[in-house]
Structure 1
Amino acid sequence: MAAMTDAATLDNLVSLKVDRSDHVAEVTLLGPGKGNAMGPDFWRELPVVFNALDADPEVRAVVLTGSGKHFSYGLDLPAMMPSWGEMLGGQALAGPRTRFLDEIRRLQASVSSVAQCRKPVIAAVSGWCVGGGVDVISAADIRLASADAKFSVREVRVAIVADLGSLQRLAGIVGEGHLRELAFTGKDIDAARAERIGLVNDVHPDQDAVLAAARELAAEIAANPPLVVQGVKDVLDVNVAQRVGDGLRYVASWNAAFLPSKDLAEATQAFLERREPKFTGE
């Protein structure tokens, strides 16, 4: 694939790489955190990339994948928490909480840029896809996995109500019962379970095979009339978009009000100390 260098907005990316072949763009998560963890660069660059691909008339379909063995370990907590300190402090008043509400909405908009891209997006997932990784693939149109893929809506295990789209989008993908099980427990599921519940369309033997399948499917989509394909996506999204938008606004307000807690501080400290947290409901 030739690197996409013709759009100035896609130069000098840190957390993502964009390539294209014919009418298919390929977006690869680079990290720089371990396991393509999603830090400040990722949240800033993701909408830049998908807005550019949306506006590029040469792009008709997009493949989204991760570098290395894993799609993403999810939110890079050590990288993100320092900037959230004041906003999440126990004595935070209206000003800091309003700033945190704005921050949640900014991250939500970043993920939503994937869903709002008029070009169909196919996620090719290998290895771990955790937390924010599930938020992002939930915003894709189609998901494929390798046999070693594992998925987790893990926010509950770090004392957070998932607020970037999984709770809003997965109900229409896997159904309410499966979503509630995943979100209440934070459990890990393998690729076979993900396929059974409809989280992924197909499972392929390994990382090379799933990426090849995603490229083939994207090329098949790109061979169709592009404006008609975009019209199909627009029609399919019309009812979903309002429901998802309402849910995102509600959870952003809920977390701005209730997320700061002793349990969140305990979860963060336990994560840094690599131990099991002890939650008290405070």
Structure 2
Amino acid sequence: MTDTADTLSDLVALKVDVDGHVAEVTLLGPSKGNAMGPDFWRELPLVFRALDADPDVRAVVLTGSGAHFSYGLDLPAMMPGWAPMLQGDALAAPRTAFLNEVRQLQDAVSAVAECRKPVVAAVSGWCIGGGVDVIAAADVRLASADAKFSVREVKVAIVADLGSLQRLASIIGEGHLRELALTGKDIDAARAEKIGLVNDVHPDQDTVLAEARKLAAEIAANPPLVVQGTKDVLSVNTERQVADGLRYVSAWNAAFLPSKDLAEAVQAFLARRPPEFTGE
């Protein structure tokens, strides 16, 4: 683990611990509710590619620090870099820059899915937007009874573009995905278990993390190359469809994201008031 430890020695938004053949990746924030800002998006692919390359690691647990898994995208931290794109008269250059950034964020989430070591997500508290994108890229999801989930991008005038719309259909089915994505509604752990978003619900945060570690250890006890091969064979069923969908939605958002409704969503978010959308 020495090379991996050296690679991951200066992390800010994530922490990596290893026990035996199981690595544990913890979201640290530093924003409230482990919201996902620039540090998170820079570090996520570094972490999962390092774990993928480490022969001593055979399974990964992914969880959040504090009471919540993640509030999702850190809008105040991310918006300044998107400002040129969000102008109503944005031309090709800022749109292309925005397209490139979306695809970088997509690649960060895809690093979780592409990690050859199976990933078990342990979710407590809120898991919103980008948080759902990330757990959708995991192999198995477990939740505590207080967990709540939301594909909330539609409520802030954004088409979700980091993987939920591409990966969740094969996990929860098309009908449930359309309901969540088109309403932006919140669902609790019981509903998440019923529709297959999570495999099991446990009483509290400590228990779900213990069960995730137990499951990861059970996976890690199997022949590692066969486990990796099994994940590879399972993934081939959807990987082309996911890649095509990610490419399409990034281009769609680069073309159509700037709107009065998006500006209203941002202003309402900052002012902590309900937005009033006009379809412009």
Fold match (TM-score > 0.5) = yes
Q: Which residue of 2 aligns with 1:190?
A: 188
CA gap 1:250/1:261 in 2 versus in 1, 3 angstroms = same
Answer yes or no: is the 8 Å Cα contact 1:263–1:281 preserved in 2.
Answer: yes
Answer yes or no: is the 8 Å Cα contact 1:51–1:113 preserved in 2.
Answer: yes
Q: Which runs of 5+ in 1 are unaligned?
A: none
The answer to whether the aligner puts 1:241 opposite 2:239 as a matched pair is: yes
Q: For 1:85-111, what per-residue CA distance to the aligned partner results, in whole angstroms no more than 9, with x for missing partners?
A: 012211110111011000110000000
The number of residue pairs the alignment matches comes to: 280
Q: For 1:101-155, what per-residue CA distance to the aligned partner results, in whole angstroms no more than 9, with x for missing partners?
A: 0011000000000000000000000000000000000000000000000000000
Answer yes or no: is the 8 Å Cα contact 2:4–2:50 preserved in 1.
Answer: no
d(CA) in 2 for partners of 1:135, 1:20: 24
Answer yes or no: is the 8 Å Cα contact 2:4–2:51 preserved in 1.
Answer: no
* Structure 2 SS opposite 1:239: coil
Please report how far the alpha carbon of residue 11 of structure 1 lies from its aligned counterpart in structure 2 after TM superposition: 0.8
Please report how far the alpha carbon of residue 4 of structure 1 lies from its aligned counterpart in structure 2 after TM superposition: 7.6
d(CA) in 1 for partners of 2:7, 2:155: 37
* Structure 1 SS opposite 2:84: helix
Q: For 1:196-255, what per-residue CA distance to the aligned partner results, in whole angstroms no more than 9, with x for missing partners?
A: 000000000000000000000000000000000000000000121100000000000000
2:162 to 155, 164, 167: 164
d(CA) in 1 for partners of 2:259, 2:30: 29
Q: Which runs of 5+ in 2 are unaligned?
A: none
* Structure 2 SS opposite 1:58: coil
Q: Which residue of 2 aligns with 1:265?
A: 263
CA gap 1:87/1:192 in 2 versus in 1, 3 angstroms = same
Q: Which residue of 2 aligns with 1:254?
A: 252
Answer yes or no: is the 8 Å Cα contact 1:4–1:19 preserved in 2.
Answer: no
The answer to whether the aligner puts 1:109 opposite 2:107 as a matched pair is: yes
Answer yes or no: is the 8 Å Cα contact 2:4–2:54 preserved in 1.
Answer: no
CA gap 1:6/1:156 in 2 versus in 1, 3 angstroms = closer
Please report how far the alpha carbon of residue 178 of structure 1 lies from its aligned counterpart in structure 2 after TM superposition: 0.2
Q: Which residue of 2 aligns with 1:36?
A: 34
Map 1:1-282 to 2 at 5 A.
7-282=5-280
Please report how far the alpha carbon of residue 6 of structure 1 lies from its aligned counterpart in structure 2 after TM superposition: 5.0
Q: For 1:13-56, what per-residue CA distance to the aligned partner results, in whole angstroms no more than 9, with x for missing partners?
A: 00000001000000000001100000000000000000000000
What amino acid is the match of 1:79?
A
Please report how far the alpha carbon of residue 8 of structure 1 lies from its aligned counterpart in structure 2 after TM superposition: 1.8
Q: For 1:247-269, what per-residue CA distance to the aligned partner results, in whole angstroms no more than 9, with x for missing partners?
A: 00000000000001000000000
Using the TM superposition, name which of 132-141 and 7-16 deviates more: 7-16
d(CA) in 1 for partners of 2:3, 2:196: 36
> What RMSD over aligned residues (CA atoms) do the two structures have, in Å?
1.0
Answer yes or no: is the 8 Å Cα contact 1:4–1:18 preserved in 2.
Answer: no
d(CA) in 2 for partners of 1:201, 1:5: 34
What amino acid is the match of 2:186?
D
Answer yes or no: is the 8 Å Cα contact 1:4–1:20 preserved in 2.
Answer: no
d(CA) in 2 for partners of 1:70, 1:4: 30
Answer yes or no: is the 8 Å Cα contact 1:5–1:11 preserved in 2.
Answer: no
d(CA) in 1 for partners of 2:2, 2:21: 12
What amino acid is the match of 2:143?
A
* Structure 2 SS opposite 1:143: strand
Answer yes or no: is the 8 Å Cα contact 1:47–1:113 preserved in 2.
Answer: yes
